[in-house]
Amino acid sequence: MSMNRGILDTRSGFSVDGRYKRSFEVHKVFPDITYRKSMIRIPKLLMRILLRFYDGGKINPFNLGYFQNSSSLTSLRNLRNYDLYDRLVVHVRLTDYSLKFSKDIEIDLERKIHLHNYEKYVVTDDYEAFCQLFPHLSELLIHFNANSIDEWLFIAESKVVFISDSSFSFTSAYLGNDKTIYYPSLTHIKIDDKGNHKWERI
């Protein structure tokens, strides 16, 4: 295998997600690795036992599923070099997500954003809807609009990131360089491995 490293996706996750073509995206972000999806869903405890009797440098389990634990991504860390830029980016997921929103959220976001003296950007899948929902933030944030790979890397290489309840922004923020990550209080994401990031609830 390339880099003498096998990456095993222990759940279905992105690898079979035809709608978003995430298997393609994983290969674009990590071009020098080979990963194989297991044919069956392997329990985490069993995987840990198996790895004790196998070369852990050749097989690294990870999961890119929707109900994301940060610990399931640790084997993907340090597989790519990232730059780090003095900028803040807010990710807002709208197209396929029911956003719970109130004016208090926008006020709180704006207050936290102003704590950082960086250029400020927004990455979103529906910029027109974003401008309607967050009129003040739309004047404050520069819209970064690119393909999904470049948007993923843009988030990964930013010093301050506000993630949404999405695997897309969570994986990019977590796997990139050390940064400050603001994450929603109500989320499917479980931060059980903080890495070297600074985590703040929003």
Helix (H, G, I), strand (E, B) or coil at 57: coil
Q: How far is CA 142 from CA 71, 84, 120, 150, in A?
A: 32, 18, 6, 16
**Domain interval for residue 164:** 85-201
CATH of the domain at 162: 3.40.50
Q: Are residues 106 and 192 in the same domain?
A: yes
| pLDDT exceeds 70 at position 181 | yes
Over residues 84-100, the pLDDT tens digits come to: 999 999 999 887 555 56
Q: Tell me: do 188 and 124 sit in the same domain.
A: yes
Q: Are residues 52 and 118 in the same domain?
A: no
Structural domain contains residue 79: no
The reply to whether 173 and 98 lie within a common domain is yes
Strands 158-162 and 119-124, sheet pairing? unpaired
Ranges 75-79, 122-126, 188-192, most confident: 122-126
User: Residues 46, 131: one domain?
Assistant: no
Question: Based on the domain organization, do 89 and 187 belong to the same domain?
Answer: yes
Q: What are the strands, taking DSSP E only, across the chain?
A: 6-9, 34-37, 59-62, 85-92, 119-124, 142-143, 158-162, 180-183, 198-201
- Give me the residue label for tokens 């095993």: 8
- The domain total for the chain is 2
Among 151, 170, 161, which Cα is nearest to 200's?
Answer: 161
